[in-house]
Structure 1
Amino acid sequence: MTTLNKNPLATGRQFTPASGKRRGQSDVKIALFFIAPAMIGFTLFYLVPTLRGIYLSFTEYSILGDPEWIGTANYQAIATDPLFWNALAVTSQYVLINIVLQTALALGLAILMHRVAKSTLIRGALLLPYLMANVIAALLWFWLLDYQIGIVNYFIDAFGFPKVAFFGSAEWAIPTQALINTWRHMGYTALLIFAGLQSIPSHLYEVANLDGASPMQTFWRITMPLLRPVLALVLIVTVIGSFQVFDTVAVTTQGGPVNASRVLQFYIYQKAFTESDFGYGSALAVILFAILAIVAFIQMKFLKGNDSDLD
């Protein structure tokens, strides 16, 4: 009885470079076929609008006429625009509050999910605020924090403290916006950090326990270093999202009181769609894009998000 030997080396046949090249070309074609829908969507909805926005930033353009090339005049005007610098300062304040609170709370929730809360139901409940639309969340807290009829001020008054104008005072407007978005996004951020915690080998904690390390020492010397790539990703995503805050401000304060909550994204909207100055609004958007690119690069550089201590 003879057997059919399909080993090409045993039969004297070998794969030629031409056959390997044909297979490589076939794989590339298949890969391009699968990524084509995403590339088409990216080109139509991201790349083309971005390039057009950069072009419009060098023009004077309203919806009633054609773009008129004016060079860097928009950028020169932005450099001396006090509203722009105010919007940048307000946005930076919002980002700082939101990032610090959101990251700290999300890290604590992730550790609780990893070590205490093993129930899938409890873990899923943390994501419920994130599943709520931004506008709905903003309206919900706008009513809860209302100065006259809000239940929060009702309890503040019941305990003998003066009511707080959360959305009506310059001191509280931005911190309130940051707290609302922290509440909405910290569950999702905690889920990302929780995934990073699960990737840390458990034997490292066992060795630390055998060596007599305290929980705090284990956290700072094992957990935090090994979480660095995940935390870098989380910080980049949250910082970019925080700089783009718009809907919460638009629904609640609309930039007030007296520009106290006029964030950069809302200022871009006002210039482009309220004042129909699309050239100036595009220049503001390009500056925001550059700021986000620089911040993301700095974060990746100093947080070493591409490196892992597990290697």
Structure 2
Amino acid sequence: MAAAPGTAPRTRGRPRSDLRIALLFIAPASVGYVAFYLMPALRGLWFSFTDQNLIGTGDFIGTANYERMFGDDLFWNALWVTVQYVLINIGVQMVLAIAVAVLLHRLTRSVVIRGIVLLPYLVANVVVALVWFWMSDYSIGIVNVVLEEIGLDRVAFFGNPATAIATIALINVWRFLGYTALLLFAGLQMIPQQYYEAAALDGASEWRMFWRITLPLLRPVLALVLVISVVGSFQIFDTVAVTTEGGPVNATRVIYYYIYQQAFERFDLGYASAIAVFLVVLLAGIAYFQLKIMRSDRSDLA
């Protein structure tokens, strides 16, 4: 029987649930998250309260690992070295990334230029570290050869405790600069162009427009990028592992590398887990503080 004119035909059967379809799509990722993130995290939390090693199941020792951690001078040294790395890496990277993003936004929209900017990020971090390690070698590195040619003294970039951690930080600035700049560039594209046009009609300079328009309206995206960058910087490991291995004289022994040494060189899994749990709590607190102080949930565009 045909439907009456002006009325929509009835759909036969039970309407399909969007929730079921959504659960079906996220099921593979959920299984992977539980198997490779949640379960290891819970297991590591349990290990932090035991004297777990590679042999046996480990006995429950309460908070002994945490008490040992707070009295461990090497732990505090590793944390301080990591903080130095983060300050150098984030400070230099964010300033340069904002400058590159603004230049891309105000001067060009070329996809080719964006691709060139992103190229260093596409190279594996271990490869980048090894290339810069050999380029900065005191005897045969091209960097020191150039310094000598222009009349400057050679520098032991990785061999001097005063320059080692800064060198590692600047290497990672070079690699991640393009990626961070493109994230900020995406945020800049959400700023209405008429704001800049109105400011230009009022005679505002590019510098004034940056401080009065770009930076305030970019704040939510900048807060998110800053959190991602800080959390990622605290997890620095591979660059240290393939270049200095924590030296010279613990000058580059970051906290991730210290956890690795405790777990896989000294086989003290309980103590390594305690440090890892402390790092998770620390990063969660830092991220929360950053998001709150930068009011990431509010936008001046509203």
State the alpha-carbon separation in 1 of the partners of residues 156 and 6 from structure 2: 84
User: Is the counterpart of residue 180 in structure 1 residue 171 in structure 2?
Assistant: yes
Q: 1:180-226: per-residue Cα shift (whole Å, max 9, x none)?
A: 00000000000000001111000111111122222221111110011
Which residue number in structure 1 is paired with residue 229 of structure 2?
238
- Say which is worse superposed, 209-218 or 190-199, in terms of deviation: 209-218
- Say which is worse superposed, 85-94 or 110-119, in terms of deviation: 110-119
Displacement after TM superposition at 1:136 (Å): 0.1
What is the aligned counterpart of 2:258 among 267, 272, 294? Answer: 267
Displacement after TM superposition at 1:118 (Å): 3.1
Q: Report the identity percentage.
A: 58
User: Is the counterpart of residue 36 in structure 1 residue 27 in structure 2?
Assistant: yes
State the alpha-carbon separation in 2 of the partners of residues 139 and 278 from structure 1: 29
What is the aligned counterpart of 1:201 among 192, 195, 210? Answer: 192
State the alpha-carbon separation in 2 of the partners of residues 131 and 200 from structure 1: 28
User: Is the counterpart of residue 306 in structure 1 residue 289 in structure 2?
Assistant: no
Displacement after TM superposition at 1:7 (Å): 5.0
Which residue number in structure 2 is paired with residue 283 of structure 1?
274
3-state SS in 1 of match to 2:17: helix
User: Is the counterpart of residue 214 in structure 1 residue 215 in structure 2?
Assistant: no
Which residue number in structure 2 is paired with residue 6 of structure 1?
7
What is the aligned counterpart of 1:86 among 73, 77, 84? Answer: 77
Unaligned ranges ≥5, structure 2: none
The letter for the 2-side match of 1:4 is: P
Question: In the alignment, is the contact (CA less than 8 A) between 1:117 and 1:123 conserved in 2?
Answer: no
Displacement after TM superposition at 1:3 (Å): 5.6
State the alpha-carbon separation in 1 of the partners of residues 119 and 50 from structure 2: 44
State the alpha-carbon separation in 2 of the partners of residues 53 and 3 from structure 1: 65
Displacement after TM superposition at 1:6 (Å): 1.5
User: Is the counterpart of residue 106 in structure 1 residue 107 in structure 2?
Assistant: no
Which residue number in structure 2 is paired with residue 227 of structure 1?
218
State the alpha-carbon separation in 2 of the partners of residues 163 and 46 from structure 1: 45
State the alpha-carbon separation in 2 of the partners of residues 258 and 84 from structure 1: 14
Displacement after TM superposition at 1:169 (Å): 0.5
Unaligned ranges ≥5, structure 1: 14-18
State the alpha-carbon separation in 1 of the partners of residues 209 and 152 from structure 2: 42
How many residue pairs match? The answer is: 298
Displacement after TM superposition at 1:36 (Å): 1.0
| TM norm structure 2 | 0.95
Displacement after TM superposition at 1:125 (Å): 0.7
State the alpha-carbon separation in 2 of the partners of residues 58 and 74 from structure 1: 7
Q: 1:243-280: per-residue Cα shift (whole Å, max 9, x none)?
A: 00000000000000000000000000000001000000
